[in-house]
């Protein structure tokens, strides 16, 4: 994985080169030097070396993960975004996916699910770290209502081993419970069973995934530079962070990034607002604002050197002057050209742009990206002096939701 920051530090840029070089990066380096052992020992990174757990999950995926035609994950936020990001590697959007994700509690969507799936031939993975997530409990209870004769073996539950509503429900009904690691929060759980079991069922190479992540931990310098960049942006009131991958299979990654960045750093009046975008699609919807709107954004563009498949254009057009720029090109050439064009047009307008290039879209490169931004988020939080692992604002919303439901019940 190659990271280029030069576009962030032009003289005309919203960021100041001297301040970055003499202040932020040395401070970030000091934080890393002082805390690297403790950070590498965090459970969200320790699971990368847990070969026994990977072996158990592979066996479970080979057994339970092959018994049913389709699998649905019930979960929201960190319980779904990591697995969804991994599964997109092997998911052809134009054919039925082996693994699907139900993240919301929209009754119309649940009705669509019931109509589209043979529920007797479907396995269900129910995920909630706390075991008290209202949306996931509601999804699960609705499933049990519409399918009262569901078999015990169709269900696997991932939750903490404690007397939560989900744990007790699963225990009472005899559903198999897979322990959610107590020390790993949902949004940091992509390398645990939360992300790996759906990925394995979908056919993702989790060994390569972990290899890519471990390489980042062994060579964190690009991460430290990214943290310095983020802190520089915040110090100069760049209040938004745009994540814009140029590959459809990375679209869920941008959503995963948005959660981990927003929920980890948005505290005590601090943080920057993540914006997820997709190239080339959002060149036709957001680029005008990105280029000529308020200069309040830091951009991260992600491209790849090699496409797994490519297509040569038909030659019927070669005598048409208006299409001459397509001569000898493939589809991937246009994707790459648009990536460069967006980078250059933003830089020319003084917008700070970081580009990240991966060799190809693969399990290994995705593991590197996921680990990079987990570590970047944690170190940025350390600089900001906020806890990256709590979410008090979300907890308050959960309490109010239950209170409103109780009000409805008492009427």
- Cα–Cα distance between 144 and 306 in angstroms, integer? 46
**Neighbouring C-alpha atoms within 13 Å toward the C-beta of 127:** 31
Asked whether 358 and 302 are in contact (CB, 8 A), the reply is yes
pLDDT at 326: 87
**pLDDT tens readout for residues 292-347:** 999 999 999 999 998 767 888 888 877 788 888 888 889 999 999 999 999 999 99
pTM: 0.94
3-state secondary structure of 121: helix
44-207 has the same fold as 2-38+208-385: yes
- Residue 292: count other Cβ atoms within 10 Å of its Cβ: 11
**The CATH number of domain 2-38+208-385 is 3.40.50.10490:** yes
Based on the residue annotation, tell me whether 181 is a catalytic residue of this protein: no
Six-digit token pair at 398? 């959960």
Domain ranges of the chain: 2-38+208-385, 44-207
**Neighbouring C-alpha atoms within 13 Å toward the C-beta of 100:** 20
pLDDT at 197: 98
Asked whether 280 and 335 are in contact (CB, 8 A), the reply is yes
Whole-number Cα distances in Å, 229 to 68, 192, 380: 47, 29, 10
Hey, what CATH topology would domain 44-207 get? Rossmann fold (3.40.50)
Asked whether 159 and 171 are in contact (CB, 8 A), the reply is no
Catalytic residue among 36, 40, 295, 398: 398
> Of 165, 170, 101, which is closest to residue 131 (Cα–Cα)?
165
Show the CA angle centred on residue 114, arms to residues 113 and 115, nearest 5°.
90
- Cα–Cα distance between 46 and 44 in angstroms, integer? 6
Report how many helices (DSSP H) and strands (DSSP E) the chain contains, helices first. 16, 10
3-state secondary structure of 75: coil
pLDDT at 12: 37
Asked whether 77 and 127 are in contact (CB, 8 A), the reply is no
Q: List beta partners, residue 123.
A: 71
Based on the residue annotation, tell me whether 263 is a catalytic residue of this protein: yes
Based on the residue annotation, tell me whether 135 is a catalytic residue of this protein: no
Per this entry, what is the length of the chain? 411
> Of 303, 57, 44, 306, which is closest to residue 202 (Cα–Cα)?
57
- Cα–Cα distance between 170 and 152 in angstroms, integer? 9
Asked whether 13 and 351 are in contact (CB, 8 A), the reply is yes
- Say how many Å lie between the first and final Cα of the chain, rounded: 58
Question: What are the pLDDT tens digits along the chain (411 aa)?
Answer: 677 776 564 433 455 544 444 468 999 999 999 999 999 999 999 999 999 999 999 999 999 999 999 999 999 999 999 999 999 999 999 998 999 999 999 999 999 999 999 999 999 999 999 999 999 999 999 999 999 999 999 999 999 999 999 999 999 999 999 999 999 999 999 999 999 999 999 999 999 999 999 999 999 999 999 999 999 999 999 999 999 999 999 999 999 999 999 999 999 999 999 999 999 999 999 999 999 999 999 999 999 998 767 888 888 877 788 888 888 889 999 999 999 999 999 999 999 999 999 999 999 999 999 999 999 999 999 999 999 999 887 777 778 887 887 787 666
Q: Which residues contact 273 (CB under 8 A, 6 or more apart)?
A: 239, 240, 241, 262, 266
Catalytic residue among 11, 163, 284, 411: 284
Catalytic residue among 263, 276, 297, 347: 263
pLDDT at 5: 73
- Cα–Cα distance between 291 and 157 in angstroms, integer? 46
- Residue 267: count other Cβ atoms within 10 Å of its Cβ: 18
Six-digit token pair at 275? 């914006």
Show the CA angle centred on residue 54, arms to residues 221 and 140, nearest 5°.
105
pLDDT at 14: 52
**Neighbouring C-alpha atoms within 13 Å toward the C-beta of 365:** 22
Element (H, E) at 167: helix 165-173
Q: What are phi and psi of 328, to 5 degrees?
A: 75, 10
Question: How far, rounded to the nearest angstrom, does the alpha carbon of residue 314 sit from its chain's CA centroid?
Answer: 36
């Amino acid at each position: 994985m190659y990271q280029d920051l030069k576009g962030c530090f032009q003289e005309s840029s919203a960021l100041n080169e001297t301040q970055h070089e003499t202040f932020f990066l040395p401070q970030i380096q000091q934080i890393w030097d002082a805390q690297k052992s403790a950070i590498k020992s965090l459970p969200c990174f320790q699971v990368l070396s847990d070969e026994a757990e990977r072996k158990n999950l592979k066996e479970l995926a080979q057994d339970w993960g092959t018994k049913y035609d389709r699998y649905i994950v019930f979960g929201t936020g960190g319980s779904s975004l990591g697995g969804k990001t991994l599964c997109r590697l092997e998911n052809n959007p134009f054919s039925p996916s082996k693994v699907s994700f139900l993240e919301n509690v929209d009754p119309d969507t649940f009705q669509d699910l019931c109509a589209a799936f043979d529920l007797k031939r479907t396995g269900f993975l129910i995920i909630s770290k706390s075991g008290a997530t209202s949306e996931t409990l509601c999804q699960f209870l609705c499933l049990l209502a519409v399918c009262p004769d569901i078999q015990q073996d169709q269900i696997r539950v991932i939750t903490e081993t404690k007397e939560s509503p989900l744990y007790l429900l699963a225990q009472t009904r005899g559903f198999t419970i897979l322990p959610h690691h107590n020390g790993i929060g949902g949004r940091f759980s992509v390398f645990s069973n939360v992300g790996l079991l759906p990925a394995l069922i979908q056919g993702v190479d989790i060994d390569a995934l972990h290899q890519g992540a471990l390489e980042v931990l062994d060579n964190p310098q690009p991460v430290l530079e990214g943290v310095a960049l983020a802190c520089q942006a915040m110090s100069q009131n760049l209040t938004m962070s745009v994540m814009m991958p140029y590959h459809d299979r990375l679209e869920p990654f941008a959503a995963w990034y948005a959660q981990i960045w927003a929920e980890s750093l948005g505290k005590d009046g601090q943080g920057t607002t993540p914006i997820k975008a997709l190239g080339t699609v959002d060149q036709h919807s957001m680029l005008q604002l990105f280029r000529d709107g308020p200069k309040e954004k830091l951009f991260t563009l992600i491209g790849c050197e090699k496409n797994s498949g490519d297509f040569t254009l038909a030659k019927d057009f070669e005598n048409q002057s208006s299409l001459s720029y397509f001569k000898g090109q493939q589809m991937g050439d246009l994707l790459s050209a648009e990536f460069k064009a967006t980078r250059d047009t933003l830089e020319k307008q003084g917008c700070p742009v970081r580009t990240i290039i991966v060799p190809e879209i693969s399990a290994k490169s995705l593991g590197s990206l996921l680990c990079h931004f987990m570590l970047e988020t944690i170190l940025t939080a350390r600089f900001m002096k906020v806890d990256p692992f709590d979410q008090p604002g979300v907890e308050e919303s959960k309490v109010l939701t239950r209170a409103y439901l109780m009000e409805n019940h008492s009427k």
